[in-house]
Amino acid sequence: MKPLINGITGVILAGGKSSRFGSNKALVEINGSRLIDRVASVLGSIFKRLVLITNNPKDYSYLKLPIYEDLIPGLGPIGGIYTGLKNIHDETGFFIACDMPFINENLIRHIVAVRDDFDAVVPKIDWRMEPLHALYTKRCLPVIKELIASGVYQTAKAFYNLSVRYLNEEEIRAHDPHLRSFLNVNLPEELLDTLHGAREND
């Protein structure tokens, strides 16, 4: 068993409304385990401290985690990242969406290992970035705050004004060959497709 990482907080983002899914997808079960439970379990095996960002704290009280509600409601993921960075005690947080059922401990530990002195570490495959499976330091706060103030709520826009370490596809596949870490669930039928695809890749 690998040691827990101190000095970086694992931050789970569960602020979405799940409007496309039709119910709270974070609480949907896959093979007997809720999506958010799976995420919390993996992060709990990596980081000494975890927090949860949500506007529905009662739904997740059973997790026994520190919970913070969005400081500025209605902004989507960038609001969750802003809230997390403002509230965590560590200088750095690893942020992840609650609907990624196949996150990979080795990949996350690699992201931590290559952080060096970058403001953020973000997986990137071709043009597609994964800002909700990424590392951010508190140095990102002024840039994110400025974006929010200007009415721009796309997290990736912040990267133009930050020092970012991007992980390329080859680097990612060395730890996650099938890129399952970034699979998320937005619709009920996607849950079935995700499970089916995962079984084929096992």
| Structure confidence by residue, pLDDT tens digits, 18-42 | 444 445 778 877 777 888 999 999 9
* 181 touches 107 (CB < 8 A): yes
Strand, coil or helix: 67: strand
Distances (CA, A) of 98 to 17, 69, 76: 12, 15, 13
- Give this prediction's pTM: 0.89
Give the residue ranges of the chain where pLDDT is below 50. Answer: 18-22, 196-202
- Residue 146 confidence (pLDDT): 98
- Residue 201 confidence (pLDDT): 46
- Residue 22 confidence (pLDDT): 43
* pLDDT tens digits, 100-110: 888 999 999 99
- Residue 163 confidence (pLDDT): 98
Strand, coil or helix: 101: coil
Domain count, the chain: 1
3-state helix, strand, coil in the chain (%, to 5): 40, 20, 40
> Per the structure block, which two tokens stand in for 2?
């690998």
Taking CA 183 as the corner, what is the angle to CA 178 and CA 189, rounded to the nearest 5 degrees?
120
Answer positive or negative: Cα dihedral of 98, 44, 4, 103: negative
Q: State which residues form the domain around 49.
A: 5-201
What CA dihedral angle connects 144, 93, 15 and 32, to 10 degrees?
A: 160
CATH number of residue 75's parent domain: 3.90.550.10
